[in-house]
Structure 1
Amino acid sequence: MEHLEIERKFLVTSEAYKLDATAKTRIVQGFLNTHPDRTVRVRIKADKGYLTIKGKGNASGTTRFEWEKEISLAEATHLMDLCEPGILEKYRYAVCFGGHVFEVDEFLGDNKGLVIAEVELQHEDEPFEKPSWLGAEVTGQIKYYNSQLSQTPFNQWNP
């Protein structure tokens, strides 16, 4: 079975998404490996733990291998201690719009001020309706990958 993630990422231009959010979840995540060809992520989402392996994206950055397994909260907590420096914290909002679910990440800590929306698609060319709060597309721009935000946080970027 092939595990492919097909998604597009966008900057968010206003907090209007919060009005339509159906869920808000706190996420803490760290990376055991941030190699450009593969990342290994540990995530605590609400009260559940996850271990995720992601491969290198294709040329457009929309498609890449992703394998995820739920692990116990205790395992995730212990693995978090082994992660590279730069633990990420964020709130994730689920927003249904135009037949798709947009996951909007409002980053905290050293990435505070950065808000990114992702929409998962069935195929790269799948059309979707864009909400008014969706800004510039950043799909495939490596600096917006969570693994890179853990190493070079938003507050260290040059204006």
Structure 2
Amino acid sequence: MIEIERKFLVISDAFKSKALKKTRIIQGFLNTHKERTVRVRLKGEVGYITVKGISSADGLSRFEWEKEISQKDAELLFKLCEPGVIDKMRYEVKVGDHVFEVDEFYGDNEGLVVAEIELNAITDTFEKPVWLGEEVTGQVQYYNSQLIKQPFNTW
């Protein structure tokens, strides 16, 4: 289960009118070691636990395993998480043959908006919408696991 993903800053809110779906996400981290992270997430009312491995040198790919859990289990696991919470609204925006996941952050990360696109291969091409800004793939400070330690409002 290798995830291939590119991440970009978002330069306008034009994506909102094109969103197919939006979902509130709350997440915490049981472990933020650079070689592995373990995340607990509530996406709407559905819980998930996710394990991610170390990123490739270019930041484009890494191992990811995810399992759905109950809302109650997610809420219990939040109590064991490291300090800091990610609170964001996720918009799913179809552009061409792909769906961008655009995250608008709240709380200590207010003002940060990033878009991610998952690809089938590193060489896949995709249409870039006008609201897509600078690519930040592989820039560790934009990882959610780092945003709980050094929130956007402290940069």
Q: Distance in 2 between matches of 1:71 and 1:24?
A: 20
2:123 paired residue among 122, 125, 148: 125
Matched residue, 1:48: 46
- Choose the corresponding residue for 2:94, options 90, 96, 106: 96
CA separation in 2, counterparts of 1:61 and 1:98? 24
TM-score (normalised: structure 2): 0.99
Aligned residues: 155
Matched position secondary structure for 2:100: strand
The one-letter code sitting in structure 1 at the alignment partner of 2:8 is F
Unpaired stretches in structure 2, ≥5 consecutive residues: none
Alpha-carbon distance in 1 for matches of 2:17, 2:88: 18
Q: Does residue 140 of structure 2 align to residue 142 of structure 1?
A: yes
Runs of 4+ residues over 2 Å off in structure 1: none
1:10-159 mapped onto 2 (5 Å cutoff): 10-157=8-155
Following superposition, the deviation at residue 112 of structure 1 comes to 0.3
Post-superposition Cα deviations, 1:105-137, rounded to whole Å, max 9, x if no partner, equal 000000000000000000011000100000000
Task: In structure 1, list runs of 5 or more residues that go unmatched.
Answer: none
1:35-67 Cα offsets, whole Å, 9 max, x none, are 000000000000100000000000110100000
Give me the identity figure in percent: 63
**Please, what TM-score do these two structures have when normalized by structure 1?**
0.97
- Give the whole-Å Cα distance in 2 for the aligned partners of 1:111 and 1:125: 31
